[in-house]
Chains A and B, each alone.
Chain A
Amino acid sequence: MNNSQSDNLIIAGKNFTSRFLLGTGKFPNKQALHEAVTASGSEIITVALRRIDLERHEENILEHIPDNITLLTNTSGARNAKEAVRIARLARESGYSHWIKVEVINDSKYLLPDNAETVKATEALVKEGFTVLPYMYPDLYFARELAAAGAATVMPLASPIGSNRGLKTKEFIEILIHEIDIPIIVDAGLGAPSQAAAVMEMGADAVLINTAVATAKHPANMARAFAQAIAAGRTAFLSGLPAEKADADASSPLTGFLYENPKSEIRRKPEYRI
């Protein structure tokens, strides 16, 4: 974990030292979740409002979460902007914070987000005072609209939720990193710490991991591994990774001829005859 004050992740004016966000679904039990949260060092965790037992019949996963952690309720189950807004309002009415991860997914087969509805939901929720972190398919146009709408970050997917297929959308996330000024948190589909490291090396601001940790044989250990990888990737990025070279250096550079003969006409500075 990078503890440098100067390299904090800043979202909506709030400082975080960890660039590892953790999802809380799919864990075998609450104890495993608690241990993974601790091992990860995460300061932001996501939880689906649909899974929160507001009737309090069963032990609430939130009872295991340390107080210093920012809880990001997500609108999982929302099929359109209207439903996402309703779920967000319900989360706030139930006493959860105004930080909301907007997930608008009208696709139960691949769980791909609907960018257009995500923009509408973000616009509406920002107006209502929510801090919105929208999950999206990496598309530059929509990312610009989300930023313009007041989203605190954008969260482009690496590959479909739960698929563990890694960074399939690399080129398009790179475009976002270059062109979008709000934090980019790569979310969904990262299946191994090496993949998370690669995302951070590219210059992403943070990553969100769920399935790969929750379904590991030892979730806490896996969380620890991800934390180390994310920190390593970030440090590598800040240190300036050498650029990839397409081919070997030419032994005779293209402009070598300009400097071979010191008396060459070509070396004279231009003279202006006035």
Chain B
Amino acid sequence: MFTLQDIKNALNTEDPQKTEHLARQAAHLTRQYFGRTIALYTPLYISNYCSSHCTYCGFNSHHTIARKKLSAQEIRQEAKIIADMGIEDILLLTGESYESAPLSYIIEAVQICKDFFPHIGLEIYPVEENEYRELFCTGADSVTVYQETYNRRRYREVHLAGKKQDYDFRYHTPERAAKAGMRRISMGILLGLSDPAEDIFALFEHLRSMEKRYPGVEYSLSFPRLRKIKGRDFALCTVDDITFTKIICLARIAFPRIGINLSTREDAGFRNHAIELGVTRISAASNTAVGGYSLETPQEQEPQFDIADQRSFEDIMKTLKHKNFDPVLTDWRRIDNT
């Protein structure tokens, strides 16, 4: 397991040979444990109502944007469009509004999506263990929750209102989800909020602790980099491509069997390289606006972040096959979660 100093040394070195060495180790491990498979999923934003104020997010409660919450019919319509592409793994997302998009609303959304997808993931506001259990029994199998930053001071500085201010409640979310039976948990940090080395080290420690106590969960990691929203830049510090690449490699070396996820925050060029190094899950044909797949024109949309990889699902499939990867659409299905 890497120490904080190991991570700092790796990220700070400017020697390209050392970067290449890390990459080779990471690539070897990824091929060994995953072959050349890349799992695909698509996000579906169902509500952008939010009562938290995260300074870096396009949905934060202080931004004057058109707030939208999909009706059951609209969820069905958006889900059908995504499912018709061939996607079988959907990630449902909401802003952090416990009142406007209550648990009952999310449960209904899961029930609707069961008609279209054998695997349903959730990236919603953190809830209690019994609520995750109810979601699991309804048919959701995985939870994505990022601590954003493990630096408490920075966490306080960027989360100014709402339930999200509660660092510890968020920190223990993976544990509540695991206790509730969720099969897959995705953890991560938002690169650009704090010192990357310290955050990566803390993330690794958090994951290690989860692995030991909840070994039956399939874990994955994400390292989204802060992106502009409608051209406006909210990043507090930049993480360049070299550092980002090293982070992906370090994660693979530290955790050979976990999934590593890369969203469309990253452009096609970078994603094409990253899948050679350690990334095993990518989002495809994403739209981060509520109703973005069929209900709103591009001008009307209020995205959570600007999409950098605009490729269609077919283009991504073609590219993966051309690069001798095996795109995996099916990697789990509900087996009656009760």
With a cutoff of 8 Å between Cβ atoms, the chain A residues found around residue B258 in the complex are 108
Of B86, B321, B326, the residue contacting A27 (CB under 8 A) is B326
Q: A51, B330: Cβ atoms under 8 Å?
A: yes
Cα separation A95 to B128 with both chains bound (whole Å): 39
Q: List 24 A-B contacts (CB under 8 A).
A: A25-B35, A27-B35, A27-B36, A27-B326, A28-B326, A50-B330, A51-B330, A54-B118, A55-B330, A57-B88, A58-B86, A77-B183, A83-B335, A87-B335, A90-B335, A105-B216, A106-B215, A108-B215, A109-B211, A109-B215, A109-B257, A164-B32, A215-B31, A215-B32
* Interface presence of A107 (CB below 8 A): yes
Interface size on A, residues (CB 8 A): 32
Given known A51-B331, A58-B86, A106-B216, contact A29–B35 (CB-CB < 8 A) = no
* CB under 8 Å from chain B, chain A span 74-104: 77, 79, 83, 86-87, 90
* Interface presence of A211 (CB below 8 A): yes
Q: A162, B33: Cβ atoms under 8 Å?
A: yes
Cα separation A87 to B218 with both chains bound (whole Å): 17
**Would you give the shortest CB distance from B89 to chain A, in whole angstroms?**
11
Cα separation A55 to B86 with both chains bound (whole Å): 9
* CB under 8 Å from chain B, chain A span 23-60: 25-30, 50-55, 57-58
* Interface presence of B47 (CB below 8 A): no
* Interface presence of B34 (CB below 8 A): yes
Contact-residue bracket for chain B? 20 to 34
Residue of B nearest to A191 (CB): B32
With a cutoff of 8 Å between Cβ atoms, the chain A residues found around residue B33 in the complex are 162, 211
With a cutoff of 8 Å between Cβ atoms, the chain B residues found around residue A109 in the complex are 211, 215, 257
With a cutoff of 8 Å between Cβ atoms, the chain B residues found around residue A211 in the complex are 32-33, 35
Cα separation A29 to B320 with both chains bound (whole Å): 10
Q: Which of A27, A162, A164 has the most CB of B within 10 A?
A: A162
Q: A108, B211: Cβ atoms under 8 Å?
A: yes
**Would you give the shortest CB distance from A261 to chain B, in whole angstroms?**
67
Q: Which of A25, A109, A164 has the most CB of B within 10 A?
A: A109
With a cutoff of 8 Å between Cβ atoms, the chain A residues found around residue B327 in the complex are 58
* Interface presence of A209 (CB below 8 A): no
**Would you give the shortest CB distance from A54 to chain B, in whole angstroms?**
7
Q: A214, B35: Cβ atoms under 8 Å?
A: yes
Number of A-B residue pairs, CB cutoff 8 Å, is 83
Q: B35, A26: Cβ atoms under 8 Å?
A: yes
* Interface presence of B333 (CB below 8 A): yes
* CB under 8 Å from chain A, chain B span 34-65: 34-37
With a cutoff of 8 Å between Cβ atoms, the chain A residues found around residue B324 in the complex are 28-29
Where the two chains meet, the residues of A that have a C-beta atom closer than 8 Å to any C-beta of B are 25-30, 50-55, 57-58, 77, 79, 83, 86-87, 90, 105-109, 111, 162-164, 211, 214-215
* Interface presence of B204 (CB below 8 A): no
* CB under 8 Å from chain A, chain B span 136-169: none
**Would you give the shortest CB distance from B265 to chain A, in whole angstroms?**
26
Cα separation A163 to B35 with both chains bound (whole Å): 12
* CB under 8 Å from chain A, chain B span 274-302: none
With a cutoff of 8 Å between Cβ atoms, the chain B residues found around residue A214 in the complex are 35
Cα separation A36 to B58 with both chains bound (whole Å): 49
Residue of A nearest to B37 (CB): A26
Q: Which of B211, B321, B332 has the most CB of A within 10 A?
A: B332
Cα separation A29 to B88 with both chains bound (whole Å): 19
Cα separation A105 to B183 with both chains bound (whole Å): 12
Residue of A nearest to B181 (CB): A79
Q: Which of A30, A107, A215 has the most CB of B within 10 A?
A: A215
With a cutoff of 8 Å between Cβ atoms, the chain B residues found around residue A107 in the complex are 215-216
* Interface presence of B217 (CB below 8 A): yes
Residue of B nearest to A52 (CB): B330
With a cutoff of 8 Å between Cβ atoms, the chain A residues found around residue B335 in the complex are 83, 86-87, 90
* Interface presence of B201 (CB below 8 A): no
With a cutoff of 8 Å between Cβ atoms, the chain B residues found around residue A25 in the complex are 35, 37
Could you list 6 further interchain pairs (A-B, Cβ under 8 angstroms) beyond the known A29-B36, A87-B335? A28-B326, A51-B328, A53-B88, A55-B118, A57-B330, A108-B258
Cα separation A61 to B127 with both chains bound (whole Å): 39
**Would you give the shortest CB distance from A215 to chain B, in whole angstroms?**
5
Of B211, B321, B333, the residue contacting A29 (CB under 8 A) is B321
Q: A29, B118: Cβ atoms under 8 Å?
A: no
Residue of B nearest to A108 (CB): B218
* Interface presence of B234 (CB below 8 A): no
Given known A106-B216, A108-B219, contact A58–B34 (CB-CB < 8 A) = no
* Interface presence of B336 (CB below 8 A): yes
**Would you give the shortest CB distance from A34 to chain B, in whole angstroms?**
13
With a cutoff of 8 Å between Cβ atoms, the chain B residues found around residue A83 in the complex are 335
**Would you give the shortest CB distance from A253 to chain B, in whole angstroms?**
51
Q: A58, B329: Cβ atoms under 8 Å?
A: yes
Q: A108, B216: Cβ atoms under 8 Å?
A: yes
Q: B330, A26: Cβ atoms under 8 Å?
A: no
**Would you give the shortest CB distance from A241 to chain B, in whole angstroms?**
32
